[in-house]
Structure 1
Amino acid sequence: MALKKSAVKTCATLLQEYQDKKSTILNPVKLSFSGVGDKDVYNISAPFRIDGVTVIAGRVESRDSEHSEIHFFVEQNGTWVPKEGAPVFTLQDPFFTFIHGELVLGGVETFPHPAMDNALMWRTVFRKGKSLNGLSPFFTGPDAMKDLRLVELASGEIGVFTRPQGEKGGRGKIGFTKVSSLAGVTVELVNDAPLLADQFIDAEWGGANELHILNNGLVGVLGHVASFDEAGDRHYYPMVFALDPQTGEFSDMELIAVRAEFLPGETKRPDLADVVFSGGLVRHSDGTADLYAGISDAEAHRITIHDPFLKFEQNK
């Protein structure tokens, strides 16, 4: 199908369009974790297979802190417990993909701000390997950039989704470029990636969370779009769009869920009550998909939805 982009859509417009569709949400579940003391587990990845088992990577953090670790969990009797012997990384917001047969794991590293006292700076870091214990660092993204994602395209090239902030990206806009191999992924390449035009208004922001190669070579992007309200509270919505890596054309964003459709739960702070952070999507052959998400910077939940990428695979 041709990817047609209309004028920029605000969170309010996207929310109204989503509510008008009356989507069906099934099987809302709050995931249960143990083995990490009284810490929260949130902003999880989707489950993936590595070392012969299915694992979830999760952000583990005390409720009153943003000092985070990434732990790997396996399911036992309905509860996710730390995988014995698995590494722990001092990072936030884990994500994964597989490129040329290797696991590529990323997360956000924080470090003291170079110019501001008692403030933090951040960057996205990547590791790769054949096993969890064999993951070695191979790329560190630019300072002040979260939501940097890599994907192996159908062509064998590497798709690079970026999210600069500041002079180029404002509060955060998505960029895209591609390169022939992982060796070609550099800070300069990331910084120079062109932004997708007319995707966010300047007062709002968003990013890519997980990338799916569709059966026609398009990239299905699972991401988030976010805004502040007049009280300063944050509103994060899980969204999707599709991008043609050969032409750069992309579709409009559309929401795939809202916070109220998940189970009730805790929040890290009152201003984060309406935050859904897309973790990952597991597509099924029956036309449904499981959305894994971080909720209100405190919990990890899952819901089942209609597969939002199916329509992009049908006519191209």
Structure 2
Amino acid sequence: MTTNLLKPATCEQLLDTFFANLRETTVKKLTFSGVGNRDVYNITAPFQYSGEEVILGRVEERDSEFSQVFFFTCEDEVWSPRIHTHTYNLQDPCMTLIKGELIVGGVEVITDTDNPDKIVSWVTQFYRGFEIDSLIHFSSGPGTMKDIRLIELGDGRVGVFTRPQGVRGGRGQIGFTIIPSLDELNEQTFIEAEVLQDQFVSEEWGGANEAHLLSNGHIGVLGHIACLDHNAQKHYYSMVFSLNPETFETTPIKIIATRGDFPIGPGKRPDLNDVVFSGGLVRSGNGRAVLSVGVSDAEAYQIEIPDPFCEYEA
């Protein structure tokens, strides 16, 4: 296995590079209805389904971590829950298509048996099906592992991104493995995925949020990189890198969006004010792309930026 051979850059170093390169952006806040006074954030990128544009979003009370994932459709610039569609008691949804089948994932929180208001762990759950209304559960990640993402590779195999912590992953690294098909997606697959080297310094962490198959067969990874400051405040930034699935070689991480790209607004808690959580990216084909994000664990935005994957296909 080869790596990018460069020492991992810190968030501070990556921010210096980011702010040194001016770019044109267009920002739009998403408006939601039909969910009461709850917040909608950590959305996926829009995707087409039966002639409709659909997104998934995390729906949650401001003072709670117990959320639901809704499918939303848009009419007159307002996103509303898709009619007669099941909701899931999950956080942080993700979606992809594998062999034409819709794959939806999200994080289920596990509560204390004696105190149902206390979250003690979490598990990523995956559902599959050719119709939104008939998705079935087919796989679960290991306990406490978030940011598991799947992608269909050019030869039909399935790439799997993981997020180990602890002995193998510290505060959170990115792992990767390849399996022949979705039938092989099991807990052992997640646990044994190889950790990508030299991506984060030991005090910082990150994860994959969405994967794109690039024209050269490499994988463009949209994710986040995060750190704590001296006051224990969290700082999350949208980032990308490219992975060669044959050699596991990666390009250096680059930040593509920060909280400062978006208007001042509410946050779930003070320690989450400087959080941008990557949801998904739609490449426009003209050198531009639209990034969907959750902001401060309270709002959802889309921002048009230069396509960050173009350089990996050059």
TM bucket, shorter chain: over 0.9
CA contact (8 A) 2:102 2:131 kept: yes
Cα distance in 2 for partners of 1:115, 1:202 equals 35
Q: Deviations over 1:201-256 (max 9, x none)?
A: 12111000000001111100000000010011100000000001011111000000
Counting only pairs closer than 5 Å after superposition, residues 18-37 of structure 1 correspond to structure 2 as: 18-24=18-24, 26-37=25-36
SS of structure 1 residue aligned to 2:281: strand
Q: Deviations over 1:236-282 (max 9, x none)?
A: 00000000101111100000011111122111111111100001001
Deviation of the 1:3 alpha carbon = 8.2
Out of 34-43 and 158-167, give the one that drifted further.
158-167
Letter in 2 for 1:122: W
CA RMSD in angstroms, aligned pairs only: 1.6
CA contact (8 A) 2:109 2:119 kept: no
Q: Please tell me whether residue 232 in structure 1 is matched to residue 215 in structure 2.
A: no
CA contact (8 A) 1:5 1:251 kept: no
Counting only pairs closer than 5 Å after superposition, residues 36-47 of structure 1 correspond to structure 2 as: 36-47=35-46
Cα distance in 2 for partners of 1:135, 1:51 equals 15
CA contact (8 A) 1:3 1:243 kept: no
SS of structure 2 residue aligned to 1:183: helix
SS of structure 2 residue aligned to 1:190: helix
Letter in 2 for 1:260: G
Counting only pairs closer than 5 Å after superposition, residues 51-200 of structure 1 correspond to structure 2 as: 51-112=50-111, 118-200=118-200
Cross-structure match for 2:295: 295
- The number of residues matched between the two structures is 312
SS of structure 2 residue aligned to 1:173: coil
Alpha carbons of structure 1 residues 93 and 14: separation in structure 2 relative to 1, 3 Å: same
TM normalised by structure 1 equals 0.96
Deviation of the 1:113 alpha carbon = 5.2
Counting only pairs closer than 5 Å after superposition, residues 276-295 of structure 1 correspond to structure 2 as: 276-295=276-295
Cα distance in 2 for partners of 1:27, 1:198 equals 33
Letter in 1 for 2:90: L
Letter in 2 for 1:98: L
Alpha carbons of structure 1 residues 111 and 308: separation in structure 2 relative to 1, 3 Å: same
Letter in 2 for 1:248: F
Which structure 2 residue ranges, 5 or more long, are not aligned?
none
Cross-structure match for 2:250: 250
Which structure 1 residue ranges, 5 or more long, are not aligned?
none
Matched-pair identity in %? 48
CA contact (8 A) 2:3 2:197 kept: no
Cross-structure match for 2:266: 266
